[in-house]
Amino acid sequence: MGLLLLLAFLMFGAATPVPPALRAFSSLHLSSSFSSRPAVAMKYSIHYIQQKVDHFGFNTDKTFKQRYLIADTHWQKDGGSILFYTGNEGDIIWFCNNTGFMWDVAEELKAMLVFAEHRYYGESLPFGANSFKDSRHLNFLTSEQALADFAELIKHLKRKIPATKNQPVIALGGSYGGMLAAWFRMKYPHMVVGALASSAPIWHFENLVPCGVFMKTVTKDFRESGPNCSETIRRSWDAISRLARKGTGLHWLSEALHLCTPLTNSQDVQHLKDWISETWVNLAMVDYPYESDFLQPLPAWPIKVVCQYLKNPNVSDSLLLQNIFQALNVYYNYSGQARCLNISETATSSLGALGWSYQACTEMVMPFCSNGIDDMFEPNSWNLKEFSDDCFRQWGVRPRPYWIPTVYGGKNISSHTNIIFSNGELDPWSGGGVTENITDTLVAIVIPKGAHHLDLRANTAFDPTTVLLARSLEVRYMKQWIKDFYASLRRKH
């Protein structure tokens, strides 16, 4: 169970909420040119809008301040457009800094960039410090409320900035934000002419896709990044178990893996395995072609680097674990500064993590499983009952796994139009995404050599051709939507 819950927390690389310290650190690095691409000056202004805490009920008329960013350097009043980032589970400034694609295409699309923060994340807290206090305060943290915030914000902008009134808006987002972008177009097609939903696993619900698809892709990434790599990892679990059962095994493991806090019991061992699994999962999400600093500072193609230490599955348990340590070290200590590895440290200890944990326990119920055969992980079945009980203990709420397909249509979405679903083939989330065209205007773009929403990241000299092609295709679609919008506007006048 541990893994599944943790996965739920960590599910979105780009989306992983970042504690304040790391956040500052990120922006610092992101505004530098670590990836050798020409630095785009990310100049934005910060704004706030009063939103109803509850769009769908009238018992409370309470409002809160939602934060949003505007960047209008390249925006043109004549023939311009608005690119609207549907914020997901984290600080909007972090997303703004991590969505270079929007900055890169702003000039070509004469676009104003708007980044809307998702309620209950960053500074957009409906009840301030009490927002996560209990299920009563958390009651308004849903995707529907977030979409309604976006709709109100767009109406507000069109009033506040008259020249935007007759301009097309396009929704963009990645990961959960990609789902929101797609759902926004589905539910509010009068607000946006189209949506770019990058790495959006809108089908990772109920039984729409097999629950094992995620771990299978992680495994594939490792299998294809070095000989014997996934096999070595597959064997590591039993090796850990065998070592842990020995007299001094826990001590030895703690030393060999340079753990900050020594393992003391079998629960710790399970925790260790979950933490290692998560590491491989995260690596699969951020397996980018260049040095990056997303969840951690990492080298280019980090899984390839990791796999250099995992070439030989046929060694003793202790040697195998020493190799695993080297591999983990790539992820946790690329800077060379770490003195030990902290298995209780996750990137999810901020408010954002709290919010996502609640969402995963209510609407965003994504079944995960592994069987150790089609994947390199220990077998772990999807147990809704157990998951639900855990959620009830933690939040006092029960998940409704059926709800997202009911409200957003599951696989039956062909009556909608103008949505691009892009997925990187390396991205474990692609298995829950739309990877084949549904209609002429509900199109899928699959990006070989692409990890989690690589296409939304800034252009770099190291980008594989696949993602360059994807981006240019995306721009083509967006231009078409903009053109159609203006043509229809002219017909009206």
Residue of 26, 35, 124, 175 marked active site = 175
Cβ closest to its own copies, residue 261 vs residue 406: 406
Q: Which residues bind its own copies (CB under 8 A)?
A: 52, 55-59, 61, 135-136, 138-140, 142, 144-145, 148, 151-152, 155, 187-190, 362-363, 397-398, 400, 402-403, 406-407, 409-410, 412-418, 488
* Contact (CB, 8 A) for 227 and 205: no
Please calculate the CA angle 166-181-395 and round it to the nearest 5 degrees.
135
Considering the complex, what minimum distance in angstroms separates the CB of residue 491 from its own copies? 11
Considering the complex, what minimum distance in angstroms separates the CB of residue 119 from its own copies? 13
Q: Say how far apart CA 199 and CA 227 lie, in whole Å.
A: 28
Residue of 118, 204, 416, 452 marked active site = 452
Q: Say how far apart CA 84 and CA 70 lie, in whole Å.
A: 10
Cβ closest to its own copies, residue 166 vs residue 308: 166
**Distance between first and last Cα of the chain:** 59
Cβ closest to its own copies, residue 193 vs residue 454: 193
Long-range interactions of 142-145: CB distance < 8 A, separation 24+:
142/359, 142/362, 142/363, 143/179, 143/180, 143/183, 143/359, 143/363, 143/364, 143/404, 144/55, 144/56, 144/407, 145/54, 145/55, 145/56, 145/119
- Taking the alpha carbons of 466, 471, 476, 481 in that order, is the dihedral positive or negative? positive
Residue 189 in tokens: 């097609």
Cβ closest to its own copies, residue 26 vs residue 362: 362
Cβ closest to its own copies, residue 372 vs residue 409: 409
Active site annotation includes 175: yes
Cβ closest to its own copies, residue 148 vs residue 454: 148
Considering the complex, what minimum distance in angstroms separates the CB of residue 158 from its own copies? 11
Considering the complex, what minimum distance in angstroms separates the CB of residue 270 from its own copies? 29
| CA atoms lying within 13 Å on the CB side of residue 165 | 5
Residue 265 in tokens: 């019991």
Considering the complex, what minimum distance in angstroms separates the CB of residue 410 from its own copies? 7
Considering the complex, what minimum distance in angstroms separates the CB of residue 200 from its own copies? 17
Cβ closest to its own copies, residue 240 vs residue 365: 365
Q: For 196, list phi and psi in degrees, rounded to 5.
A: -105, 110
Q: Say how far apart CA 198 and CA 441 lie, in whole Å.
A: 16
Considering the complex, what minimum distance in angstroms separates the CB of residue 243 from its own copies? 42
Q: Which residues are catalytic?
A: 175, 427, 452
